[in-house]
Amino acid sequence: MNIAVSAPLPAVAAAAPAKAHGLGRRITWLLLLPSTLWFVLLLLMPLVVILLFSLGERSAVGGYSPAFTFANYLNLASRAAAFSNTLVLAPLGTLVCLLAAYPLAYFLAVKVQRNRSLLLTLVIVPFWTSFLIRTYAWIFILSGKGIPALLASLGLDDVRLINTPTAVLIGIVYGYLPLMVFPIFVSLEKLDKRLLEASHDLGAGAFETFRRVTLPLSAPGVITGVMLVFILLMGEFLIPAILGGGKVFFVGNALVDLFLQSRNWPFGSAVAMTLVAMMLAIIAVYLKLVARFGGRQQDGML
């Protein structure tokens, strides 16, 4: 007499989801494969090449000669002015952009009810013109026939703006202000207006409401705008080249000089890798701040 033994029903039921889960994981990895290859080829491989170049030597006719040396990194002090200008003007420009963008974004998101789309379009209008042309326009505005001439007519003589850090800072704020406005605007637009009303009902003044309600809830937009502008400014070279007149160098200007003019590719690669390391440190701080503010918001909702 043969007795057929079948698998218990719970075991069969458990095996089916497990099999489906494994198939889903394989499909997910298959779908991610093209983007992963794209990421490796276009981002990681160039970084590996630059890292290898940074450990080499400049050949006699310029370019790269294979070697293994850290001399290029030990020579970074020769570009201290470029790093110094970048680490001073990039944060300062980001701060000024933030101070100018927040009131504008707050006005557009909270105060304006009609014609909001029109005002947002006016913020975007500068992007309709080439960034190079807009930057060149500031040469006339900041040169002797522009603002200095106007100040001279008011009795303020010998005011020089062009080819100075001030000119570069003005160009930075003008060029990158819209990139700061929009992330903050999005955060403020999503702000629940009932929270502001509740704050006023509980006796908080306008400043206290802003400090304890509006600013914390708009922090993700502020952080995004700050990081977006700051990271782009760390690699900026066009504004210092045009408005700095060769007297205010950024790291981006140093890279252009090392790769295209002096053709010292190993040293330029060392400068570039140092800049990448700085960017990674900044992004790590950014992710930490985002996680902190996100956790605070979740605790507040709970």
Q: What is the pLDDT of residues 163-174, one digit of tens each?
A: 999 999 999 999
Task: Identify which has the larger pLDDT, 210 or 238.
Answer: 238
pLDDT for the residue 54: 94
Structural contact between residues 242 and 255, judged by C-beta atoms closer than 8 angstroms: no
pLDDT digits (tens, 9 = 90+) for 281-291: 888 887 787 77
Establish how many alpha carbons lie within 13 A of residue 56's alpha carbon, considering only the half-sphere containing its beta carbon.
Answer: 19
Q: How confident is the model at residue 302 (pLDDT cuts 50, 70, 90)?
A: very low
pLDDT confidence of residue 160: 85
Dig out the tokens for 43 from the structure. Answer: 């981002």
- Contact 255/241 with Cβ under 8 angstroms? no
Q: What is the pLDDT of residue 299?
A: 54
Distance CA 258, CA 270 (A): 10
**What are the tens digits of pLDDT across the range 20-33?**
666 778 888 888 88
Which domains does the chain show, CATH number per domain? 77-301 (1.10.3720.10)
Q: What is d(CA 44, CA 50) in angstroms, rounded to the nearest whole number?
A: 10
Q: How would DSSP label each residue in 127-151?
A: GGS-HHHHHHHHHHHHSTTSHHHHH
Q: Which residues of 164-175 are buried (b: 16+ CB within 10 A; e: fewer)?
A: bbbbbbbbbbbb
pTM for the structure as a whole: 0.81
Q: Which residues contact 126 (CB under 8 A, 6 or more apart)?
A: 134, 174, 178
pLDDT at 294: 59
Of residues 15 and 285, more confidence is placed in 285
Question: For residue 191, with 0-12 CB atoms within 10 Å meaning exposed, 13-18 middle and 19 or more buried, which class applies?
Answer: middle
* pLDDT tens profile 179-209: 999 999 999 988 887 887 788 778 888 788 8
Give residue-wise pLDDT tens across range 235-254.
Answer: 999 999 999 988 899 999 99
Tokens at 99, concatenated: 């101070």
Distance CA 263, CA 53 (A): 12
Whether 123 and 186 have beta carbons less than 8 Å apart is answered as no
Closest C-alpha to 266, from 69, 77, 43, 83: 69
Residues 6+ apart with CB under 8 A from 8: none
Task: Name beta bridge partners: 57.
Answer: 65
Overall average pLDDT of the 71-79 stretch: 93
Q: What are phi and psi of 275, to 5 degrees?
A: -65, -40
